[in-house]
Structure 1
Amino acid sequence: MDFRKIELIGFKSFADKQEIRFDNGVTCIVGPNGCGKSNVADAVKWVLGEQSAKTLRGTNMQDVIFSGTQNRKSLSYCEVSLTFDNSNKIFKDIDYDEVVFTRKLFRSGESEYYVNKKPSRLRDIIDLLHECGISKEGYTVIGQGKVSEILSSKPEDRRAIFEEAVGIAKTKAKRLETSRKLDRTRDNIVRIADITTELERQLEPLSKQAEKARAYRALSDELKYHEVNAYLYRRDNAASVKSRINLKIDELKEQLEARNLELNEAVKAYNAHQREISEADDYIRQLNAEHVEKVQAYERQSGEAKVYDEKINFFRAEIKRLEGEISEAEGKISELGSKIREKNEYAETCGKEIEKIENRSADIRAELLKVLSEMNEGEKMAEDAQNAILTSVENLADIKQAIGALDAEKNVMTERQRETLEKVKTLSDELSLLYAEKAAAENETSALEKTVQTIKDDVKDKQADIESINYYINDVTNKLYALNSDISALEANRRMYGNLRDSFDGFQYAVKKLLTAAKSDDEIGKRVKGVVANVIRTDKKYDVAIETCLGGAVQNVVTATPDDARYLIQYLKRTEGGRVTFLPVSSMKPRYETSETRRALSERGALGLANELVSYDKYYDNVVRYLLGNTLIAEDIDSAVKIAEKYRFAFKIVTLDGDVIAS
């Protein structure tokens, strides 16, 4: 590079125009102290874009203007020009063999920049010089102590020197500036999207108002026309027509008022529709929650119904078993009754035989008594006979014979009495055994009757339980029918709102068109990941706060890469689909919370960070942090104000009611 000369006018100690040429062979500038050697180096740095007065050894930038002496007045401006040889096209964008960079400063603080005497910007001059490896931050001008600083610098600092020498600094500066422009552009796009959304929302009522206004204008023109005609007609014709014209004017005024009323009604209806849409969204969320609750209740009650069905089947089996036992018990009772009847008949028969035996025993006893009396009489007769023996030996044989007959008869009677007593004893034993069997049968019958009564009571209890269970089953069935009807209604509502969602109602025209195309076109569908509204989910409590944080970004379309976004933009341009804001996941710069934000979470009224109060796929983390990062959700405006004042408005705060305190 060939640096030819420098021209100075009014710069520091150079009051007059000075020209210093740097021909081949110029190595240094020498001179006594205070002659202005350092001012030449300061002039070069000043033209290269130096903005720090301290670097130029001054307190403010006006100190570089010649301030005057005792014999000479100060100047009102200063000007420095650097001339370069461009025959080798070191400045590719300038088609001149010589390039002159000029900077001019006035005492008012205004600066002017020129390239070849043509007004330019400081940025343009810096960019042109960067192409040649020249900049105010680099080592084009090395001041006092700079060499030792370079020699003792760290490797990464030396790398910066080399980058500056090979011209990478310009690319880095452009990259930094481009990143800033991109950030500003994104912010502008978000603001434009918000403005567009608001304008689109106002478009329909404004179009209605415009239509009303056009009608009003037409009616006004017509009114003026009729007024003029009426005036002319009144002037040219009889005054009797005036009343009819006045009536016509009144009618037109009434129509105008009616149109104004219709306009007001239309505005009110529009506001009402907006409220209904908001209420419908709330109702959808409520229906979804109720649907989940109903399904869970249905599943619980289905499980309970199955348990009760098992209980019913068990009780029915128990009833069948008890009925079998009852029938067996009734059979046993009938069998025992027949046995009892047989025993009673046998007892009656035995009683009759006992009566006969007792009667016979009484007869035998009477005969025995008779025999005993006869025996007593015989003994008496024997005594008489013995007495007679004494008196008559002749009658002795007859008496002995009579005594033998009586003894034989006595023995027969004794044997018969013994047999009768044994038979009576046997009959008594049989009668006692029969009475015992009768008592046992009666006890068994009583026990069976008690068992039967217990079984009947159990059957009644089981029947009561069955009736209660049937009642509960009917209640559960009715509830199931009600739940099924509720579920059917919820399903219908879900399908309706699903159809609304699938048709993308509520989205901007361009977003709706793009999402509709994504469903039918696979090439577009694989590039569209969805809209922010579908990517993020949150609790109903935080809906207003999160919607406020997102603003118009809820309708931004998410893509995987910037290439996908460019493809979709080209598609919208081809189809005249309008404008859409895209958020490529790979190029989004997340906004991370600061230490102040983390400390603020412990403050009273702080509910959490916005990006942590929503649920989403981790794939979209960059997008969510870009939209909601470093934002605190507070309970109310009072808590938000206290937190913001304590941390000096270091981060954005949004309340549950949608109030915003910006950082």
Structure 2
Amino acid sequence: MHIREIEIDGFKSYAQKQVVGKFDEQFNAITGLNGSGKSNILDSICFVLGITNLSHIRAATNNDLIFKQGNAGVTKAFVKITFDNTGPRRFANYGEVVTITRTISIASANSKGTNNYTICGSNASCSAVADLFRSVGLNVNNPHFLIMQGRITKVLNMKPGEILGMIEEAAGTKMYDQKRNQAVSNMEKKDVRLDDIKGLMDNEILPAVQRMKDDREEYLKYQKYERDIEVLRKKQYAFVYDRAQRQAQMCTEEIAEKTEESKQTIESIEEINKEIENMSDKQKEQEKEKGEGLKNEKDEIDREVVAKRAAATEAEKKYEDIRSAIEGAEAKLTRAEGTKGSDMKALAKLEADLQKKEGELGGVEKEGVDLESDIKAAKAKLLALEQGMTTNDAGEIVSLESQITESRTRLTELATDVKTRDARMKELERRKAEKERELAKHTKEDKEYNDEKTKNDKELATLKSEIAKMRFDAQEFSNWKEESKKLGEEIKALEYSKSLIETDMLKNEAQFRDVPGVQRGVDVLGMIPRFFRLKSDENRHVIEHLMGNHNTTTVVRSGEVASRLMNGKAFMYRTTCVPLDGKDDENTKEAKQILAKKLAVAKAIAPHGENVDWAINLVEFDPNHSYIVNHHLARVLVCDTKEAATLLCYNKEVGVRVITRDAEMDVKPSGVTGGGARANHSHGMDLTRMNEWHNAKAELEEKLPRYRELEKKIKDASTQAERHNRMMERQSELTDKIDAHQQKFQYSVVATIRTELDAFEIEIPKILDENKAMHDEMKGLKAKISEYEERKKNEKAFADKEKAEAKKVLKNLQEREKNAKGGFEKAKNTLTAMRSEIAALIQSIKDGEDVIEQSKSQVIEHNKELAEMEKAAKDANVAQNIAEDRRKAFIEKMKKHDENMNQLRKMIEKGKKDIQQKNVRLEEIEREKAKVKDDFAGWMKEAKDILKGNPWISDVKEHFGQKGTNYDFTGYNHTAGLKKIQEMEAEMKKMNANINMDTMSLLASAEERVMALQKKRDQIKKDKEKLWETIEKLDEKKKVELQAAYKSVNKDFNGIFSMLLPGTSAKLDPADGKDPLKGIEIKVAFNGKWKDSLGELSGGQRSLVALSLVLAMLKFRPAPLYILDEVDAALDLSHTQNIGAMIKAHFKESQFIIVSLKEGMFNHANVLFRTRFVDGTSQVSRTDNTK
């Protein structure tokens, strides 16, 4: 933003309209004689900018700004400034040109005069104009951009503190000083308020409070007695009420338990009755089944067994017949292969002998064959000559004329072919050159293709190398994932099966309430079958019988846990607890020796060599859990028969409990017998299911580590796998890209040209070779034709000569044949015989191979039949086994049927006995319930009476019995509590006569006032602390801003001064040599030598120093416009010539308007305005110094 032009009319000395412009956007000067109106141009700018202190523009009132104060017929002053609104510092929301005007009119007794502003032709207020100029850093009422007359002289006389003040003004830190002074003033007010509060408290309030506190002690003691009595009395009533409630609750629980027990007993009786009824029905059905259906089923099974046996025998016979046929075919195959092997060896030997003989006799044989061929050719030639003919190269009889004709015909054909090929050659060379020129036009396309191909091939090779370096086995990673997935599914299935069984286990395990100090799963470990597993399922009945109902016995961590559960009545039904840390007497060395001796004796005396073993050996368990298992299975022998059970039990050396493997007989040395696994195991968990649980648990323990290992491997390798996949995808993309690029190129112009050129490169050499061969052949033909024509001229002489030579050659050949005939015939016969023998062997081998193939086919066919018959035989055997198993199952079924009949009978008898016992228990329960109900009514009446007289109990009864409350009844004694209340009431009666009851209310009021004043005092102190913090922050900010301003101004000061006065330097030094914030001095150096003071400088030099400092201050916060009014007045003429260069170098974004009387100054300005005073008014002319 800068001034383009100024229009002045009626302002000060400008009576008539004057347009001052166009202004240069950087350096403008105004000069003229004193009193010609040059400074009035600067005043007009300040006038439009909205200056309020008129003394700065040499006026007292607005009337002073109008030409001759309105006395010369001019009654208003008008100034219009046109701004170029471009560049970094510009008026926001305005176009490229902005005009601002100000008009004032003369004030009189009847009128205050007018003062109007416009912005771009629209009326505006003074504040709006001021805000507009402030937005670009021009505040005429705080004008750091305005340097008036005398400013330079003032700077020269400044002290260090005043120079620091200039830095502060440039940095704009006065705001910090204002805020700091305001904070200090506020702090002084806070101190006054603190003194007022302190005096009020020390002199009036605190002494009165102390007097009332002395009277309060007795009153507080009286109040404490009142509260304590109230608390004790409430506790007494609460204790009695709570005791009655708890007793009533216990009665309610006992009644509920009795009711539940009665209900369960009745349900149990009904259930047993149903079971007896069902068992009776089953008994009748089984008796009917045995009498009717079982006999028919037995006959049917027997017939089926006989039929299946016959079918199995027939299938086995057919199977054996096919096996015999296979063995015969395999024997024939073996013989044929043996014969073939011997023939192959003989053939190899004969072929070797033949090769040897051919080496010995082959030359003789060949010589004989060649002689026979040569004699035949010689005879044919002689015969042709005798017939007036001759022979050609193939030995055919031809005439000389036909040979000449044939040769000439061939020569003509060759000449034609050569001409055709020469023409083709020229055409190819022409087209080749044409294509090469065409290819040269597509050099760029060809290069781009090759560059792209090279780039893609290089990237693909690099990618393949990186993939190889990774050494990542994708197949192995895939196998891991597949195995992990499979294991995960198996684990999920196992966990599901295990959870189903555990659900059943929970149903059978004893349920208990939470007890402090006992954790489920940590202290309470579940039922006994969790701690052992059957070695064989056939032992299930005997172990279940031995466990009886104890397989629901609960295992706990220790005896202490068992005591807590029992004392806390945690179990809902009668339950036995077995601790893990119980002492196992059966696990001692002595006990083991005794048991081993007893087992040895039992095995020795067992009849029929029966299998006898300790029951504990039929299960597997952790040795750490031996006490739990021994608790139920120790010192019990298991045998097969009842006879052995009786014998072993009552033997003095054995003398332990013995049970048969089917649990039908259980004998104890005391003489008590029992048995029947199903009768004695009506509750608890099926041990077969428990074995399934143990198996699932073991499988999980086996599979889970491998699964976790795989998951870890997959997780660890997943990043590498993802990178490998990305690289493989990139490789595929690159391959596709290369293929597509190549395919695209194949159909391009360049590819078509290259294909044609490649074809030319192949065809041209081929034609050249063919032409050479044709020329050679033509040369030979010409020679032959010459020879034939020469012979034709002397045909008779040539024929006679040829006959003589032919006869001579024939005679010579016949003599050679006669001499070699004996050796030739012998060699021929020997070799022919060997070749015939070899041919016979080859035929024999071929016949043998046919036999081998035939035998192999037979073996394959028989093997197919054998596989089918083997399957048929297996199916027949399976069917036979099924029939046999069916018969065995039927026999077992009959045995089970009888066992079930006996079992049903025993269970019906036991059920009837149980019903009698349960009916007796029902009567007892009803009597017990009646007594508890009477107790409940008494306790409820007591609780109701207390509540009626003390309704507050309803609000606090949830706290009764809780520790840390007034209703903690631990160790409370009702009688002692009542006695203490009576003693405290007597003491209160004595205290009542000496207490002033108003003391507390007065003291409370005084203390509230003290607290309010203390709160105010504390708040004032906090406010003071905040004020101190504010002052410290302001001082710190001011220090930072001043340091930044000091460094910047110091740097620019030196730069400006050294430009204005070459060969010099200038700087601002701290007055104390340390801290610039305590005062600043100006230092100047000439040619690197620093002056002690500015007094050593001439007046012009000192003025130049002051001007440089002022300009450096201006540059710290640059404005778009600077106005300097005769700042060079104190400068020497020689010092003003560099000001223009300095402005251009240091103030590139600012416009300077300088009023000057020095030619060294205004002659260097880009634009110079000259003012003159003509006929009592000022006029302006413009000079452009840049042209």
What TM-score, normalized by structure 1, do the two folds share? 0.29
Larger radius of gyration: 2
What TM-score, normalized by structure 2, do the two folds share? 0.17
- Greater RCO, 1 or 2 (C-alpha within 8 Å, sep 6+): 2
